[in-house]
Amino acid sequence: MSDNTNRDNKNPRFGSKPPSGGDDPNQPKKGPRFSIYWIYAIIFAVLIGFQLFGPFSPTMAKTSSMEFRNMLANGEVAKYTIIDNRKTVKVYLTDSAQKKYQTQLKKAGKVTEKGPHMSFKITTGEAFQKEISEFLKVNPTVKEVPSDIENERDIFGGILQFLLPVLLFVGLWILLMRKMSGGAGGGGGPGGIFNIGKSKATLFDKGTKVNITFADVAGLDEAKVEVMEIVDFLKNPKKYTNLGGKIPKGALLIGPPGTGKTLLAKAVAGEAQVPFFSLSGSDFVEMFVGVGASRVRDLFKQAREKAPCIIFIDEIDAIGRARGKNAMMSNDERESTLNQLLVEMDGFGTDVGIIVLAATNRPDVLDTALLRPGRFDRQITIDKPDLVGREAIFKVHLKPIKISKTLDIHKLAEQTPGFAGADIANVCNEAALIAARKNKEAVDMQDFQDAVDRVIGGLEKKNKIISPEEKKIIAYHEAGHAVCGWYLEHAYPLLKVTIVPRGTAALGYAQYTPKEQYLYNIDQLTDQICMTLGGRAAEEIFFNKISTGAQNDLQQITKIAYAMVTVYGMNDKVGNISFYDPQQETTFTKPYSDETAKMIDQEVRKLIDDAYEKTKQLLRDKKGDVEKLADQLLLREVLFQSDVEALIGKRPFEEKKSLVEEPAGDLLGETGEISAGVPPYDSDVTNKPL
């Protein structure tokens, strides 16, 4: 049965195990890794150093143009050279001047007698020559000294000037390519530009330890048997081939979200003792054309090298959707990927030993060529667990939790109908958090009940301000649901009702305990509609007006009514006709005429109107019981089944004890209710009553 409470299916048990703290002595210590680029950097730095500080740039003491004129006037300059291209003047001192400026020269590192000894900067060589000529004219006593002008050629400087842009460009190109190709230090990973056609599958080989085993998978006994047999095919193939049998090529895990499909695959990886390739359907998808098909080829190439092995593709509907359904939204890349997968699965021999496991919660959208025998020979359905399965799942998830000795696991399983494995794991975790918040030493039953309410209805809103008038309407609304469920033979019996606000918009919440059943008759569906209309009918009877609180109630009954008329053939006028279209082959055209559509609308309206009148008559007859429950809800806010029995007596219809299957209840929201007690009349064909 489907669960209409719209709970989040995220489950910590499906995540990878967090790494343990501390350093592992067996793991190599991380540190800077040697790279050839370090050598390139050192050579480049040495060249720059030689250019700036090496022997190719002679060391000279610094002076200025003014001091140079004083040296000329004192006869201390033997000669000078103008380096025009560097705008520098090099000064050669006389022997006596060298002794005079000995300290300054030593400080600059110039200890030899050979010049040049000093240097200074100028604007241009021509301008400097004019300045010296004028200086000599003004000072005729100053003796003119030899001078020349030249351009100094620097071999290393020229080479660096030419090579530096080239080296920078080459270095950036190499770095970019290494990053895109996922090379050392690039961080690009295996999906780089040069490895873009390579498979992204994670390989769990014999040396890789997976911590999840079949002991961690509870409530999936039939599916476990099927999967364990597949593993046995690979370990002991002769056991089956000696009798003429062929090893299955693939198995498809089908089930609603959170039921344990991926967990079962992880258990296979943990116990198969054969190489296990794991990836998701979206790993094949890339923006480049042809990449998906290339990755499929590479995946099966790796698998053949490791055979016998298992390939697990999670969420295969990402690439396995039916081809050609919508020409406007056609994607050639996705279809080519699917075509390559079809060829690979049906192309290798039976003795290769490659089995493909896949998981999806949308089997209705998969291509028929993918589902045929020879590719996915087996389809393993994983449904939401029944009472026994939920109890087993609770035992698994309660192992790490300190629970109270008075905790009744069987009762917990009864109070969580319709919960998948992910939901149960979430309930256990929430209960532990609630107990820790209350500083308890162990998690007791009350914590689990609060956790169930938290998961189904959302966080309790204690600070939400509700006026007394609104609170009274909510109380009578919920009391109307409860009384209808109590006195209608085929309605689900009440488990709990509350008017405590929860979630973002829920103002009230009622939980029922439906029977485990897969077939519904007209009386049962009609009673479900009446029970769902109980809140709206109570408002009209006791307040002579209706509110927006029944929005979700109306959505639920509309679903049921239209399903009765158009899907299940439960209407005399429409007849034994079903317009159900799971493959959505008639998306743009209705499979019936306008006259039939009008008749369907009329019959649905008549069905709901009759049920509404029946509900109002029932509540008028039980008006005192509704008032009792509403008054107690206003006083206590929460009523359990035992409280209802004490107030209005035992339920007149003795319920046969059976397994609980579906969570039922309604959350009175801002403008409606979320009724979880309605049979599944959504698009999930696998959960529809026959």
Q: Closest Cα partner for 671 from 535, 572, 490?
A: 535
Report how far residue 506's alpha carbon sits from residue 551's, in angstroms, rounded to the nearest whole number.
Answer: 12
Report how far residue 454's alpha carbon sits from residue 208's, in angstroms, rounded to the nearest whole number.
Answer: 38
Separation of first and last alpha carbons in the chain: 12
Report how far residue 154's alpha carbon sits from residue 156's, in angstroms, rounded to the nearest whole number.
Answer: 6
Report how far residue 369's alpha carbon sits from residue 398's, in angstroms, rounded to the nearest whole number.
Answer: 43
Report how far residue 610's alpha carbon sits from residue 603's, in angstroms, rounded to the nearest whole number.
Answer: 11
Residue with tokens 């100094």: 152
Count of C-beta atoms within a 10 Å radius of residue 106: 11
Report how far residue 60's alpha carbon sits from residue 111's, in angstroms, rounded to the nearest whole number.
Answer: 10
Catalytic residues: 478
Instruction: Determine the residue type at 471.
Output: K
Residue with tokens 């994607």: 331
CA distances from 432 to 399, 416, 479 (A): 12, 17, 32
The length of the chain in residues reads 690
User: C-alpha 204: how far from its chain's center?
Assistant: 21
Residue with tokens 């693939």: 250
Instruction: Please say whether the beta carbons of 259 and 425 come within 8 A.
Output: no
Report how far residue 606's alpha carbon sits from residue 590's, in angstroms, rounded to the nearest whole number.
Answer: 22
Residue with tokens 């969420």: 315
Instruction: Please say whether the beta carbons of 392 and 218 come within 8 A.
Output: yes
Residue 227 falls in which region: left (phi positive, over 0), alpha (psi -120 to 50) or beta: alpha
Residue with tokens 């476990």: 224
Count of C-beta atoms within a 10 Å radius of residue 50: 14
Q: Which residues of 244-388 form beta strands (DSSP E)?
A: 250-254, 276-280, 309-314, 354-360, 378-381
Instruction: Please say whether the beta carbons of 264 and 253 come within 8 A.
Output: yes
Q: Which residues of 361-490 form beta strands (DSSP E)?
A: 378-381
State the number of CA atoms in the 13 A half-sphere of 39 facing the CB: 3
Report how far residue 668's alpha carbon sits from residue 121's, in angstroms, rounded to the nearest whole number.
Answer: 88
